[in-house]
């Protein structure tokens, strides 16, 4: 038992929630901050690339960064029993969520698209309960529901309350991402979080390379400063670095509690939308922010 604990600690994962809870919360929060830039960066990327090109190229670039790190550190291949879980992470986080949200952002504003992120914590907690046997308390669920409802109402109101065809993409993205987050959080308990996303990205290379070549040959490319910056961020920041700290945070404080930190992500995305895309916020923003922060405080103090 002592040897196993030492091995896990040497991998950089805090298994004990007591000494590592603060660090785990910080890591998860850094992941949320990175993810909050994904939609604005995607909107920038779409200025230069088509949706299929953007998703395929970001996957390849992120895989090259992750693969280079794995090779440089001579990380051994994961055990055979972990490959199925890595495939779920790859399908949900590396391919499914980026593709579906990018397609949605062709006809949706970032504010409207942020509704999927507002509902993601609750969906991730449900997947966690089903997949890894997590049993949060009633107080936890109540706070999660209130927080999710608050964010959903706010983000829908920001977009005028109209439902569009993009919603089908957004809700599908919600489901596949929650599955990927849950499986990645489970794997991050037995292997370093950066290796979880690293191997998931490498696993997508056989699909990403031909997809990128095909997409680039069919979709027009008009390189701009915004477009290239957006591509670099979604590839290196959102797709790799953000997921590294996110999975480490989930391993330290648990999937349900870490997922509730994402309640703040839509509000952060709206702030970036104002600063980077010139979108406008209503006076409801500070009131919603206060309500969300209360919900996060409740979920973080509640024992699952």
Q: Residue 11 carries which DSSP code?
A: T
C-alpha 301/C-alpha 28 separation (Å) is: 16
Give tens-digit pLDDT for 74-96.
Answer: 999 999 999 999 999 999 999 99
- Collapsing DSSP to helix, strand or coil, 159 comes out as coil
Q: Which of 90, 99, 96, 35 is nearest to 63 (CA)?
A: 90
Rounded average pLDDT per 10-residue block, the chain, 304 residues = 37 41 87 92 95 95 93 93 94 93 89 78 80 78 85 74 78 91 86 89 94 95 95 91 85 78 82 86 75 78 60
pLDDT at 230: 95
Cα 25 to Cα 17: distance, rounded to the nearest angstrom: 10
For tokens 């809870």, name the residue: 21
pLDDT of residue 24: 86
- pLDDT tens sequence across 204-253: 999 999 999 999 999 999 999 999 999 999 999 988 888 888 888 887 88
Q: What's the confidence (pLDDT) of residue 159?
A: 64
pLDDT given at position 154: 80
User: What does 14-83 look like in DSSP terms, one character per residue?
Assistant: ---HHHHHHHHHHHHHHHHHHHHTHHHHHHHHTTTS-HHHHHHHHHHHHHHHHHHHHHHTTPPPPPGGGH
Q: Residues 6 or more apart from 260 whose CB is under 8 A from it?
A: 121, 125, 143, 144, 147, 295, 296, 299, 300
């Amino acid at each position: 038992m002592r040897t196993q604990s030492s091995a896990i600690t040497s991998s950089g994962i805090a298994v004990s929630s007591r000494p590592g809870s603060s660090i785990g919360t910080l890591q998860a929060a850094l992941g949320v901050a990175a993810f909050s830039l994904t939609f604005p960066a995607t909107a920038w990327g779409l200025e230069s690339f088509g949706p299929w090109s953007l998703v395929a190229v970001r996957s390849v670039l992120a895989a090259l960064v992750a693969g280079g790190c794995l090779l440089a550190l001579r990380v051994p291949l994961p055990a055979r029993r972990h490959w199925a879980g890595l495939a779920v992470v790859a399908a949900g986080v590396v391919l499914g969520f980026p593709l579906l949200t990018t397609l949605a952002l062709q006809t949706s504003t970032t504010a409207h698209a942020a509704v999927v992120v507002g509902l993601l914590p609750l969906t991730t907690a449900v997947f966690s309960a089903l997949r890894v046997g997590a049993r949060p308390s009633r107080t936890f669920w109540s706070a999660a529901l209130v927080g999710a409802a608050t964010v959903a109402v706010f983000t829908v109101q920001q977009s005028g309350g109209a439902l569009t065809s993009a919603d089908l993409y957004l809700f599908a993205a919600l489901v596949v991402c929650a599955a990927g987050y849950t499986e990645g959080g489970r794997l991050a308990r037995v292997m370093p979080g950066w290796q979880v996303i690293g191997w998931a990205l490498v696993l997508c290379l056989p699909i990403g390379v031909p997809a990128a070549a095909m997409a680039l040959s069919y979709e027009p490319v008009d390189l701009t400063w915004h477009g290239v910056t957006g591509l670099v961020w979604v590839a290196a920041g959102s797709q790799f670095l953000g997921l590294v700290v996110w999975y480490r945070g989930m391993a330290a404080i648990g999937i349900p509690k870490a997922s509730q930190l994402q309640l703040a992500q839509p509000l952060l995305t709206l702030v970036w939308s104002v600063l980077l895309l010139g979108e406008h916020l209503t006076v409801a923003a500070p009131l919603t922010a206060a309500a969300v922060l209360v919900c996060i405080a409740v979920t973080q103090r509640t024992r699952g």
